[in-house]
Every structure is written in C-alpha cells, then in structure tokens.
Structure 1
Amino acid sequence: MSKLSYVNIFAADIEALSGFYQRVFGFPEVEAIRSPIFRGLDAGTCCIGFNAPDAYELLYLSEHAETSGCKFLLNIDVDSPQEVDRMVPIACEAGASLIKAPYTTYYNWYQAVLLDPEGNVFRINHML
C-alpha cells in the first residue's frame, strides 16, 4: 500500500518558514535529514519538507522556479472546533494572514483558511 510521506514546500527562507510551523503547531524537526537546502518536520502521519530555491536546480525544475500561484494546500487537523479557534490567533501572531475565519463547511468540517509568512495556503481543520 502506498502512503504519503512528505509534502514539500519550496521556501525562500527554509529556516524561518519551518520555524513558523514549529512554533504554531509544535511539529519537531527531523534533524537527521537537515541540510543547507532542506528542513523536515514530523507532522504526525506524514512530514512537511521545506526546500530552498537551490533545490529547483537539483531536481531539474529550474524552468519552473518562477511559476506563481497556489500549488498545494496544507491541511492540519486538530482535535476540536475550539482548538481551531485557539490556533488561528497563534498562527496570526506568528506571521500568518487570516483569509477565511473559522466556519463550518458544507462537508461538515470546521476550518480556517490562512496564508503562512511566505504566502502558502494552509487550513486548520476539525472534522465534525
């Protein structure tokens, strides 16, 4: 059976952006895989990787380095609707921007939509 192991984000500042997710959600760094162009965080069921721009060349993706727009969406699940409400101001104080305040979706999740300090979209969710 296949499983998701990492979601990787190309980040202008891997130290600052991985630090944001550590401060807000408490995800510990996977120090064994740290490099000058990579940081990894253990997010429970999978990991979040942060690649420096140098990784574009390493992965033969240089021609795609200038593409912009939303290319992925991180979903971080928490234990309750109250935890969603609690985490939003913590994320904002750490540098996130609130795009959509916590609400109940048509598919019965309680969630908030935010941008991290580099403009990447993430949601804080609880399935009702």
Structure 2
Amino acid sequence: MEIITGHERRRRWPDDEKLRILEEAAEPGISAAAVARRYDLLPQQIYTWRRRFRVPSSSSDPAPSFLPITVVDGTPPASCDPTQETGRKARPSGRVEIVCRNGRVVKVGAGFDIDRLGALIRAVETA
C-alpha cells in the first residue's frame, strides 16, 4: 500500500498555458495572488514567468510613450534676463511644458534632471 500525502508541487506547464495565465494576471484590477489561487500556484511562480516571458504586470509602471508636442516661441521678457541682475554667465532659459494624459501640466526648466522628470510625470499621472 502506498500513501501519498500533500500536493504534488512539481507540475509541468506548457508555454501557451503559462502565457494564458499571465494574460489573466495582467488584467487591470486582478492580483497575481488571486490568479495563483485559481490555478493552485504560488504567486512567486507567476512573477517568475513574467520575468521569463517579459510580460509587464498591471501594477507596474507603464512603459513611457511619446506624445505630441508643440514648440512655441519662449523668448523671455527683457526684465527676466539673468545676466542683468547677477552679472554672471546666463543659464539656458528654456522651459518645457508637458501635458500629461490626465490633463495636468508639468512645467520644468531646461536643466531639470531627466530621472527626476520621469518620476515627477509618473507621480502627476497617478495622482
């Protein structure tokens, strides 16, 4: 007589089945843990498959996308000339205005750090 206790944890999932499960887990509002319970998996298995197949999760930041821009004449008035006030070398006076998907506007100077700008845009779009 053979007595088997517990669940068999070593299962083989075909790639097409893994991708179907990953698509289900990527639906907005559905957590990886809920999908894992449905298929009797550990949530870590779904995360491993995501890394393997490079499937983005619904909770991760969306990939950056390019949006249309409009270039306008940004000549500052004479009273805003930094060399007149300080006597020092002028910095670039360009300014960038970014309209986010949710309609909010982000305005930054030309020397703004690109990494901080990305984080700022993500924060504004999720707010």
Question: Same-fold call, TM > 0.5?
Answer: no
Q: Which has the larger radius of gyration?
A: 2
Specify which structure has the higher proportion of strand: 1
Specify which structure has the higher proportion of helix: 2
Larger RCO: 1 or 2 (CA < 8 Å, sep 6+): 1
Give the TM-score of the pair, scaled to structure 1: 0.23
Give the TM-score of the pair, scaled to structure 2: 0.23
